[in-house]
Amino acid sequence: MYMSHLECPKCSAKHDPHKIIQLCPECGAPLLVRYDLNKVKANLKKEDLVSRKPDLWRYRELLPLVDDKYKVTLGEGMTPLLALDKLGNKLGVELYLKDEGIIPSGTFKSRGAAVGVSRAKELGVKSLAMPTNGNAGASWAIYSAKADIDAYIVMPVDAPAITRNECAIAGAKLYLVNGLISDAGKIVGRAVAKLGCMDASTLKEPYRIEGKKTMGLEIAEQLNWEVPDVILYPTGGGVGLIGIYKAFRELQQLGWIGDKMPRMVAVQAEGCAPIVKAWEEKKTASEFWNNASTIAFGITVPKALGDFLVLDAVYQTNGCAVAVTDEAILKDQAELAAAEGAFVCPEGAANYTAAKKLRESGWIKPGEKVVLLNTGAGLKYPDTVQVAVPVLEPEQDIPV
């Protein structure tokens, strides 16, 4: 076990990692897990990973679980990094898709849930509550079921229908709210106080981000420890982006990669772009986005608790933030499927739209190595595909 302490990125206070803790007791900011990376460096070589199981637990030394007996796993991680040759050639770059659709529950949320629930179990948590745009709730519901933890999940009525099924069949205590994830968050806030359960809201516990961090570790390992030039990430709560940034920083400290960092791009929809607005105004925090709305439902987050960490990662890596339209997202979702066979979620397609925009503007240069993070399977969003299919009677023929 190499976890050393919890650290507040705002006030720098250090905290004991061996008890249940939510936000920084001193200033209310989200906490980050720190490790004794010198000790990791001394005991682990990157070559040691080769023979390990292809899941996120291969990075055991960089994860916060103390005792493996609390590990709650459904086989998550080591998702494919696919070369998108056709679209890459079209854009004049080396294009990759990190496909988080190939994971339990079909979204990257399962990484956070696997590590978050495992650690909650280790700390003796019996029940937890969280607001969600659907996918995180589904993931936490199935991992909580496996861990025998009661999960209270609150999601907007507009969240993808399939995520309700996942929560329900896993036995979670599921509620819908006539409103946005921010409204769900307020209901959860009140419930946590009343029910005495752990608050598993985005960044209100420090372990979910450690699970998501493994996306960055995998990208580095899959590219044979060569750091890509650009990573595009669809940004709602932003934990994935923060996690990937944290991963590359830790890899630098381990000496497994050099000084180069990937330029991190926060991609949002024009209907909900608080991070983009803050970045354009060179601010270090975002403002609440009114009337948020986009078909990329997972990134409908009007104000993210970790906005300052997202913006910091973007600034520190000379990255940027880009907003794209719903119309372009849907068009590019179809282009990705028809050209590369990748049926990604709208949030994932938004990255491709953004990459095209940044390539056109010259911000992405010819030949650069560019990774699109597809956060989930298109399967979870059946309504984004319009189909009008001819129906034949058994005796009819396919028209020639």
Contact assessment for residue 24 and residue 42, using Cβ atoms and an 8 Å cutoff: no
Q: Which of residues 19-58 bind its own copies (CB under 8 A)?
A: 50-51, 54-55
Of 12 and 165, which has the nearer Cβ to its own copies?
165
For its own copies, the binding residue among 70, 175, 315, 363 (CB under 8 A) is: 175
Choose the binding region for its own copies from 102-110, 227-235, 320-328, 358-366 (rule: CB under 8 A). Answer: 102-110
212-271 residues in contact with its own copies (CB under 8 A) are none
Taking CA atoms, 345 is separated from 2, 110, 120, 313, 340, in Å, by: 36, 15, 29, 24, 14
Among 16, 290, 362, 387, binds its own copies (CB under 8 A): 387
337 near its own copies, judged by CB under 8 A: yes
How far apart are CB 169 and its own copies at their closest, in Å? 4
Quick note: the x/- pattern for its own copies over 133-162, rule CB under 8 A, is ---------xxxxxx----x-x--x---xx
> For residue 70, which amino acid is it?
Y
Q: Under the criterion CB under 8 A, does residue 338 sit at the interface with its own copies?
A: yes
Phi and psi at residue 175, to the nearest 5°:
-130, 145
Q: Which of 169, 225, 287, 327 binds its own copies (CB under 8 A)?
A: 169
Q: Which is nearer to its own copies, 77 or 319 (CB)?
A: 77
The residue written with tokens 């994932």 in the block is: 348
CB count in 10 Å sphere of residue 46: 15
Smallest separation (angstroms) from its own copies to the CB of 201? 14
Binding-site size for its own copies (CB under 8 A) equals: 80
Q: Could you give the CA distance from residue 62 to residue 52 in angstroms, rounded to a whole number?
A: 14
- Which span (25-33, 163-171, 231-239, 356-364) binds its own copies, by CB under 8 A? 163-171
CA-derived radius of gyration, the chain: 20
Residue whose entry in the numeric block shows the structure tokens 């270090």 = 284
Q: Give which of 351, 344, 348 is closest to 324, Cα–Cα.
A: 351
Which of 99, 210, 332, 347 touches its own copies (CB under 8 A)? Answer: 99
Q: In the 3-class helix/strand/coil scheme, how is 134-188 assigned residue by residue?
A: CHHHHHHHHHHHHHCCEEEEEEECCCCHHHHHHHHHCCCEEEEECCCHHHHHHHH
> How buried is residue 196: exposed, middle or buried, by Cβ count under 10 Å (0-12/13-18/19+)?
exposed
Toward its own copies, which CB reaches closer, 20 or 169?
Answer: 169
Site for its own copies in 348-377 (CB under 8 A): 377
Q: Does 67 bind its own copies (CB under 8 A)?
A: no
